[in-house]
Structure 1
Amino acid sequence: MRRAIIFHGTGANPGVAWYPWLAAQLTERAYEVEVPHYPGLNVEPVAELLPSVLEAHRFDENTVLVGHSGGAALLLALLEHVRVGQAVLVAGYCTRPNDADEPVLQADYDWDTIRANGGELVFINSRIDPYGCDEHQGRAMFTRLGGTQIVRDDGHFGDYGQPYDEFPLLNRLIP
């Protein structure tokens, strides 16, 4: 059974942006889809959040992980512990993108393990991201991990004040 888990961004929830739309698209394509709510994402340190995420979901090579913003940063820590078939990081980052606290980030990462566990890695970033989760952040991850980097001019791919209710590109990228 193909499975997809969509992780929301900082301060968000499963009902915003393109998350419900993508979940419906993948469900129509026979995916078992989870869009969990983690209110502690980027509020509590990732080391405290990660055990509950690992325990709450099943991960294997038939799993696709999708993370947006802080949810994408969470995927980096997650991929140090689980192996999946594909990981798509939308507006992701691996270092502080701005001057805000980022408890979802680790001090360092085991890039070799993430590369081995991430399956097909895809980074989608925007040159005009208002939070600094831009193409340079995507390039930093791509340089360490390989995969595919896609650069757009689409802001933060959905946020307060930026409607982004559908994400056809992302749907096409998931087999």
Structure 2
Amino acid sequence: MTSYDDLPDSDLTERLRLGDSAAFAEVYERFFVVLYKHALNRLRDEEQAKDIVQELFEDLWSKKASLFIQSNLSNYLYTAIRNKVLKVIAHQNVVSAYAAKQVAFLKPDEGLTDHRVRERQLAAIIEKEVQSLPPKMKAVFELSRKHNYTHKEIAEQMDITEQSVRSHIKNALKILKIKFRLVYYMLMIFW
């Protein structure tokens, strides 16, 4: 009898694809906690984090026959949970923006035009997403974009190389671009 806890991820993936429920149970045991912690770290909501990890495993089981993983299983699952987290965050941002728009609409005495309301909402969404970046990346990004420091000045202040500064800024822009693309599409649906 095969001990599933000794099998490498690639063998588990193949057995899962063939419909082996014991392989699925082992994948669940190996990855649930780490995926949950990652989701919780980003969402800060235990129930929501559990829900999206459960949803990921439901999707994995229901699509097992067509499962094609180019990288390793852990990378596949991590990417899948990250995408689910980003969808949840985008949805939360849209809901918040919609609620703020409704509040502004119900208070016409403030004298703000629709354009100014949207501008404030967008600024709040941008700030929230910048605040959700990893700490060092966020610090580098803010020094660059908010305080207009040069890469050299940032490198000296943070005691890192200029290449690290460039990498942090590039990665921050990549993350924000993905998040804002999702937010943009959601806003277009509701506005």
TM-score normalised by the chain length of structure 2: 0.21
Choose between structure 1 and 2: higher strand proportion: 1
TM-score normalised by the chain length of structure 1: 0.23
Larger Rg: 2
Choose between structure 1 and 2: higher helix proportion: 2
